Amino acid sequence: MAIAYRQRIDDDTEFALWKIEEEANDLYNQLQLDEQEKAYVEKLSNGKRHLHWLGTRVLLRKMLHTDEYIDCKVDAHGKPYLVNLPYHISLSHSFDYAAVMISKTHKVGIDIEQIKEKVERIAGKFMQADELAFIEEQHRIEQLYVCWCAKEAVYKCNGEKEVSFADNIFLDPFNFETKGQLSAHLHKIDISLDYTVNYMQYEDYMIGYVKGQM
């Protein structure tokens, strides 16, 4: 399968989606992995988690236009980074899709989620009461997914574990469209950052993506 969707945000930043239709071995054979990565892949049980890990790495190589080995590590906060290449990266996946965002100049964050009604059951865990108040009833499920993806994208862009979606990431009111943007704010005792988060509905998935500071 080729790249399903690709969007350039500026001269140095873009994201893409890969629809995972291959078997695990087909994806694995497109990668060059070191011994540590091979051992990690072998520990993954066959299934979506296995395919997601492989799919994001294949897509990353396609976006960087290389078949060579890419040294992609994860820091102490779980944020992926490239050891020897001058790019900020963010990875995401949901069911049949892998998503990757890259930038030469800015921190980035991306999240993709398949739209399901279950989000309504957990809305109170990641949204404040004043945020729930601006959700439009006719687009309730989709707009809640925009909120989740936006907060997840900000969380990934910031790259630190000790951040609460409900207590540290706040969204300004916005009207739901199938494609749009909203303002988000990350506040903690030692940090205050503002973000403009873009989002789009793609088939039955919602995608949130953000470009942070340099």
Per residue in 148-172, pLDDT (tens digit) is 999 999 999 999 989 999 999 999 9
Give the Cα separation of 163 and 26 in Å (integer): 37
pLDDT at res. 94: 97
What is the residue type of 85? L
Which residue spans within the chain are E strands per DSSP? 3-10, 13-19, 72-74, 80-82, 88-94, 97-103, 108-114, 169-171, 179-188, 191-202, 205-211
**pTM of the complete model:** 0.96
Q: What are phi and psi of 138, to 5 degrees?
A: -75, -15
Report, as ranges of residue numbers, the positions in the chain whose pLDDT lies below 70: 1
**Domains (range + CATH), the chain:** 3-105 (3.90.470.20), 111-211 (3.90.470.20)
Task: Name the burial class of residue 65, with classes exposed (0-12), middle (13-18) and buried (19+) by CB atoms within 10 angstroms of its CB.
Answer: exposed
pLDDT at res. 1: 65
What is the residue type of 127? M
